[in-house]
Amino acid sequence: MGECVKLVEQPGGLRLGDWLNDNLDGNWTEFRAAVAFVKQSGVKHIAARLAAFAESRRVQLIAGMDHRGTSYEGLKGLMDAVSPNGRLVIFHNRLPHTFHPKVYLFKSADRAEIVVGSGNLTEGGLYTNYEAGVRVALDRREETDREVLERIEGALDGWADAQSGTSMELNDAHLESLVQAGLVPKEAEMAGVAIDEGGLGSDVLLAASGNDAVHFEAVPVPAAPSGIQPARTPTTGQRRAGRTFVMTLRPTDVGVGQTTTGTSKRSPEIYVPLTARDAEPEFWDWQDGFEEDPRRTGKFDRRGVRMRVGDEVVEVNMMTWPVKHDFRLRSETLRSLGGIGDILVMKKVGGTAFEYDVRVVSNGSTEYQTMLARCDQRVRNSTKRFGYF
- What's the confidence (pLDDT) of residue 94? 85
Compare 219 and 73 and report the one with higher pLDDT: 73
Considering the domain delimited by 2-208, tell me its CATH architecture: 2-Layer Sandwich (3.30)
> What is the phi/psi pair of residue 377, to 5°?
-110, 135
Pick the CATH number of 236-388 from 3.30.1490.20, 2.40.330.30, 3.50.50.60, 3.30.70.100: 2.40.330.30
Q: Is the pLDDT of residue 317 over 70?
A: yes
- What's the confidence (pLDDT) of residue 223? 54
pLDDT, mean of residues 140-167: 91
Domain residues of the chain, as ranges? Answer: 2-208, 236-388
Average pLDDT, the chain: 85
- Ranges 47-61, 237-251, 278-292: which has the least confidence: 237-251
pTM above 0.75, yes or no: no
pLDDT digits (tens, 9 = 90+) for 64-108: 999 889 999 999 999 999 999 999 999 999 888 899 999 999 999
